[in-house]
Amino acid sequence: MAPLCQIQSLGKTYDKVHALSNIHLSIEAGEFISLIGPSGAGKTTLLRLLSGIEQPDQGTITFQTPEYRPVLVFQDFWLFPTMNVRHNIEFGLKAHRLPKSLRNERVNQVLEDFGLTAHAHKYPGQLSAGQQQRVALARALAIQPRLLLLDEPFAHLDRNLTSRTAAYLREIHNRYNLTTVAVTHNQEEAFQMSDRIGVIMDGNLVQCDTPEKLVSHPANYQTAAFLGPLEVLPPSLSPYLAHPSQSNKLHHYYRPHRVNLSSLDNNSASPKEAYSISRRTVPQLPEILEIHTRIRSTQPRDIGYTIRMGQESKGDPEDQEGKIDQDEILAITTQTNLSAGQWVRAELEVLTFEGPGK
Ligand code: ADP
């Protein structure tokens, strides 16, 4: 079956600014896709092209059937301030020339679905941002679109509401059998609600993958760095990897926040025997280095504890085998039961990219 929407070689230029270049994407019916990327990368432009508000300069957007009816919910909701909730919702149906009786039926249904029945006679100014968003969604869904386009759905919500709203959007998506594309700056919520996440940078769709794949196999250094803090892997660990760095062609990184730390039983092995480094591969995950080593120091920070680990490179070089020397690994954790001198197992997910990252 053809995808709901097929985007091919899509490009858009504004006054010599290449807002989008050569975008290819198939959107399957029922998918929830979030578009993330730095400001000015072209995310909203893609949404506007999908909605039909803007026309592309190059390429095509093909829908499975002409009656796909995309509907865009703007970030500031665009409710009519002088119309009450009921009339705001009915407005779109009037534009679609639905007869009065069908209009009433649809409006009553979405008012109920969105928990707005009691607010039907209120004006937008009398509602909270969350309620206004529900009205905007209800208005959009009253016309029974196939494709729902959301522009920054968390922009005007309190931070404590964003996760609940992400769950709510996903539920609406499922309940109405929608295909949804959302532009958002909220990465956590994008990961929570989406089947796939598209990363747009400098007008290019760099990657569009499941949240798991994006974390484990980001397309390049820039994408990985956009998704969260990255540290260069200490060079002394490179020889333990399947593809060690050679003449600077491959570059290895890890995420200090995702280092999995667990304490080793001090009695199970003497410290000397406990030093070890080994490599593991697990399907769907990056390459993992498992390191048994000692915590040298911990330091509280706003974000948790930063932890330095390793062994000073002194003494007999043969003793140093399997130890992290000179370079120290820095992990960041919120575990408070770890202290200097303790033996730990640290699992690092190693991301490898060709070419220099920075
Ligand atoms: P994002 O949504 O990722 O923040 P946009 O799609 O809004 O990015 O913008 C992409 C680029 O296109 C930016 O450089 C922006 O300044 C430019 N742009 C967007 N809309 C217009 C417009 N109507 N006129 C001129 N330039 C525009």
Q: Which tokens is 313 given? A: 């490179």
- Per-residue pLDDT of 77-133, as tens digits, reads 899 999 999 999 999 898 888 899 999 999 999 999 999 999 999 999 999 999 999
H helix or E strand, kind and range, residue 48:
helix 43-51
Ligand 1 centroid to 76 CA: how many Å?
Answer: 17
Say if ligand 1 is within 6 A of residue 42 CB.
Answer: yes
- Per-residue pLDDT of 162-218, as tens digits, reads 999 999 999 999 999 999 999 999 999 999 999 999 999 999 999 999 999 999 999
Ligand 1 centroid to 238 CA: how many Å?
Answer: 41
* Location of structure tokens 């009921």: 86
Say if ligand 1 is within 6 A of residue 36 CB.
Answer: no
| Domains defined for the chain, CATH in brackets | 5-220 (3.40.50.300), 231-354 (no CATH)
H helix or E strand, kind and range, residue 131:
helix 129-142
Give the E-state strand segments of 121-203 in sequence order. 147-151, 179-183, 196-201
Non-local (6+) Cβ contacts of 221 within 8 A are: 230, 251, 253, 353, 355, 356, 357, 358
Q: Which atom of ligand 1 is nearest to the CA of 46?
A: 6
What's the whole-model pTM score? 0.90
The CA distance from 179 to 193, in Å, is 13
Ligand 1 centroid to 211 CA: how many Å?
Answer: 26
Q: Which atom of ligand 1 is nearest to the CA of 12?
A: 12
DSSP β-ladder status, 179-183 and 196-201: unpaired
- Per-residue pLDDT of 207-236, as tens digits, reads 999 999 999 999 999 999 999 999 999 888
Atom 11 in ligand 1: residue holding the nearest Cα: 19
Non-local (6+) Cβ contacts of 268 within 8 A are: 274
Say if ligand 1 is within 6 A of residue 41 CB.
Answer: yes
